[in-house]
């Protein structure tokens, strides 16, 4: 899931780890606070699997200033050089990640993976919907409808359970349960609006904009 989110962000532009975290938190609200302890290892895995490439802080337009590797540098020297790479002053050198074609393939696969997408999980759904523009229209619709069905099912089950309960819940538990039910109802009508929009859109613009590269 984290890897899906990372690849999704990198699909639009290259970013360094720290910034990926910021966007996930501030802009998308997904993964409200991914820890570095999971983010950096995830980036390493993606690099190892060929989904992303790194460049050592490529300033805009100066992406290919080759820094000759003179063999074994001591840690101190490497750090110094890295510091220089940022432009001479400021922060520690960033490692900028760029998605590869292989990465886009992996992303598409993760995004539309039946297994994961079927998970009855708000976070997974939110993440997938946030990147739904990369999904072909039918998959998008499927995503929305599946989520709707899950919520409707849960609502129905909750009502059946409440009706069958031998004794009622106390004030607080009831408040939690009822609020959850109301939220689910609102989510369902939100989904209905999205599904509607999806369907009318489909008629107007068949199979357009399936590539989301900027």
* Residues of this chain that bind its own copies (CB under 8 A): 26-30, 32-33, 120, 126, 129-133, 154, 157-158, 160-162, 165, 169-173, 175-177, 179-180, 183, 186-187, 190, 194, 212
Q: Directed axis angle between helix 122-130 and helix 137-164, to 10°?
A: 160
Contact by Cβ (8 Å): 188, 146: no
Q: Contact with DNA (CB under 7 A): which of 60, 61, 68, 90?
A: 90
Residue 15, strand partner residues: 97
38 binding partner (options DNA, its own copies, none; Cβ < 5 to 8 Å by kind): DNA
Contact by Cβ (8 Å): 32, 25: yes
Kindly state the smallest distance separating residue 58's Cβ from DNA, in Å: 12
Strands (E), 120-177: none
- For DNA, give the closer residue by CB, 17 or 137: 17
Q: Is 36 in the site for DNA (CB under 7 A)?
A: yes
Residue 134, strand partner residues: none
158 binding partner (options DNA, its own copies, none; Cβ < 5 to 8 Å by kind): its own copies
User: What 3-state DSSP class applies to 99?
Assistant: strand
Q: Directed axis angle between helix 137-164 and helix 171-204, to 10°?
A: 160
Footprint of DNA (CB under 7 A): 1-3, 16-19, 31, 33-38, 40-44, 75-76, 79, 83, 89-95
């Amino acid at each position: 899931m984290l890897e899906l989110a990372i690849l999704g962000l990198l699909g639009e532009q290259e970013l360094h780890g720290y910034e990926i975290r910021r966007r996930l938190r501030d802009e998308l609200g997904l993964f409200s606070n991914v820890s570095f302890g999971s983010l950096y290892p995830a980036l390493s895995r993606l690099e190892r699997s060929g989904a992303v490439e790194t460049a050592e802080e490529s300033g805009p337009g100066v992406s290919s200033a080759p820094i000759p590797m003179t063999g074994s540098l001591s840690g101190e020297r490497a750090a110094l050089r890295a510091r220089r790479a940022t432009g001479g002053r400021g922060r520690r050198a960033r490692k900028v990640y760029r998605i590869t074609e292989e990465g886009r393939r992996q992303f598409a696969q993760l995004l539309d993976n039946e297994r994961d997408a079927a998970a009855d999980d708000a976070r997974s759904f939110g993440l997938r919907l946030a990147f739904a523009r990369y999904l072909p229209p039918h998959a998008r619709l499927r995503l929305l409808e599946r989520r709707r069905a899950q919520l409707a099912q849960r609502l129905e089950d909750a009502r059946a359970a409440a009706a069958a309960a031998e004794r009622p819940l106390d004030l607080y538990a009831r408040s939690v349960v009822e609020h959850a039910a109301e939220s689910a109802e609102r989510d369902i009508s939100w989904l209905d609006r999205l599904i509607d929009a999806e369907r009318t859109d489909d008629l107007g613009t068949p199979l357009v904009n399936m590539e989301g590269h900027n």
